Every structure is written in C-alpha cells, then in structure tokens.
C-alpha cells in the first residue's frame, strides 16, 4: 500500500508516526484535526490495539472524535480530562519560532483551547508547511453567524493599520452554503500574504466583537516534527533549542493505509 502514497502523504505519515513516540501509557492526549492528525490517530489506534497502550484522547473536532473511536481510542471531553499531558496536531504554516497558522480544517477554536490546556503541544507537518514569515496561507478567523458581514467589514477596516500585505477576506463555503464549525460558527479567511507582527494581529483580532478566535497560535507549540517524502524526520524543540534528524522505516501496513477518511 505504501507505494500508492504520494511523497506528501509519506511526509505526513512519518511525522505522525514519529510524534506517536511522545505518547506514554496513562496520558491524556489532545488529538488534532486534519489529514496529518488523522495519520497520528491511526498510529495511536494501532498502538492501543497491538501494544496495549492505555490513553484517553480529547479530540479537537467531531471528525477526529469519530476516527478515534473507530480505531479504538477511548474518547473523553476536555472537562473530564481537565488538563492534558500532550496535544499533537497538524498546522497550515509554522515559522522559525514555532508560531503557527491553523484552522485550514475549520477546527481552530477547539484546537487552540485544547493545545493551550496541555503541558506540551507537538505539531506534525510535512516540510512544505515551513515558512519564514506567516501569512501566505489565508488566516482563518472564526466568527459568530450573527452580523458576520459587519464583523468582516470591521476586520478589513482594522487590517488597514496592521503590518500585513493583503487586506481582503472571504467567507469559507461548504458548497453553496457557508461552512459551519463544530461550534456553529462561520470562518472568514483573511488573505494577508505576509503577517509582519503575528502577535499583535492575534490580539487585535480577538478584541473585536463577533470574533470568536483566530488561527494564529503564538507561543503555544513546543515541538515540531517535520516529515519528508523520503522518510526523513526532523524534530525541533523550541524549549530545549535542539534539532534532531532521523529516518523512519516505512513499514507497509494495510490497517493504517486503508479506509483513510480525511
């Protein structure tokens, strides 16, 4: 089956597989959303099933909750867990300080709450997600449906005084209707091209009425596990200041590579 995977999927898979090594017996683990996080959930499911790993997972979306249950991971709520040992999640972009853009999958609100409630956040990503400056990926902002067009106008007006290159935004759609998040909100994607001061922008956006949360994760991620299409994995730890490289054996596994729903 592995021969059917594209290099980018291989990169996502090896980053997820390497990150699964952070998970230990008894941990309460935040489970991210997206195609890379789906690999992680599958890897953890295999460890639960084959090695008897005992964990409780707190999913960051209904999609991930479903997948986690399907692969045999015990799912609990954040209120049941109260605090987490570790969250492992994907990202749309990460920079040299391990600041992130997230929310491409529309789950940024729960992802940020859960990552913030964790002792450690490990991001799993293919090497294409690394950027010098955040902002090429449109910044997702979750807004409540009430008056979303007014909120959008307010955001665009506010962007005039921000250090960004683009100032347009679009309502995320799901076919003909607006995309609705797990919490019943909409997403505005901000086309900024380059974000000069991500910390300031994150604070300003979250002060606006109608904005629930934005997809900038500042000082939340501790470690990034970067996967390459040839099986190479690079682990960067911002707290330790370490960078380590290794190569993972790409073992074919029908259980992991079939029926991927993300």
The answer to whether 57 is a known ligand-binding residue is no
Residue closer to ligand 5RP by CB (options 127, 154) is: 127
| Min CB(112)–ligand 5RP separation in Å | 10
91 labeled part of a ligand binding site = yes
Query: Catalytic positions, please?
Result: 111
Nearer to ligand 5RP, 89 or 189 (CB): 89
Task: Compare residues 107 and 233 and give the one whose CB is closer to ligand 5RP.
Answer: 107
Least spacing, CB of residue 64 vs ligand 5RP, in Å: 9
Closer to ligand 5RP by CB, 19 or 108: give it: 108
Note whether 22 and 84 are within 8 A (CB). Answer: no
Around Cβ 243, how many Cβ atoms within 10 Å? 11
Integer Cα distance of 203 and 220 in angstroms: 14
**Least distance in angstroms from the C-beta of 108 to ligand 5RP:** 5
Q: Measured from the CB of residue 161, what is the shortest distance to ligand 5RP in angstroms?
A: 27
CA distance 174 to 177: 5
Q: What are the start-end ranges of the E strands in 91-203?
A: 93-94, 100-101, 121-126, 139-143, 168-171, 173-174, 177-178, 186-191
Q: Is 112 annotated as a binding residue?
A: no
Whose tokens are 């991210």? That residue is 32
Rounded to 10 degrees, the C-alpha dihedral 243/244/247/248 comes to -90
Residue 129 known to bind ligand: yes
List of residues contacting ligand 5RP (CB under 6 A): 32-37, 89-92, 102-108, 111
Residues 220 and 102: their CA atoms lie apart, in Å, by: 12
Q: Which residues are annotated as a binding site for substrate?
A: 33-36, 89-92, 102-105, 129
């Amino acid at each position: 089956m592995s021969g059917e995977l594209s290099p980018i999927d291989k990169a996502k898979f090896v980053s997820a597989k390497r990150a699964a090594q952070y998970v230990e017996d008894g941990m309460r683990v935040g489970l991210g959303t997206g195609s890379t996080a789906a690999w992680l959930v599958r890897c953890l499911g295999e460890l639960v099933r084959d090695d008897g790993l005992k964990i409780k997972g707190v999913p960051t979306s209904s999609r991930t909750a479903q997948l986690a249950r399907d692969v045999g991971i015990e799912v609990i709520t954040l209120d049941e867990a109260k605090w987490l040992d570790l969250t492992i999640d994907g990202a749309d972009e990460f920079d040299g300080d391990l600041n992130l853009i997230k929310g491409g999958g529309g789950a940024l609100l729960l992802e940020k709450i859960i990552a913030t409630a964790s002792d450690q956040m490990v991001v799993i990503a293919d090497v294409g997600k690394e950027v010098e400056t955040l902002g090429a990926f449109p910044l997702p902002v979750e807004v409540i449906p009430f008056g979303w067009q007014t909120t959008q106008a307010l955001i665009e007006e506010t962007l005039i005084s921000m250090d960004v290159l683009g100032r347009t935004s679009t309502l995320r759609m799901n076919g003909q209707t607006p995309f609705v998040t797990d919490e019943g909100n909409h997403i505005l994607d901000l086309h900024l091209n380059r974000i000069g001061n991500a910390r300031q922008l994150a604070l300003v956006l979250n002060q606006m009425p109608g904005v629930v949360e934005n997809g900038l994760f500042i000082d939340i991620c501790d470690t990034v596990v970067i996967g390459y299409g040839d099986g190479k994995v690079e682990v960067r730890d911002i707290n330790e200041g370490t960078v380590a490289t290794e190569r993972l054996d790409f073992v074919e596994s029908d259980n992991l590579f079939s029926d991927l729903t993300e």
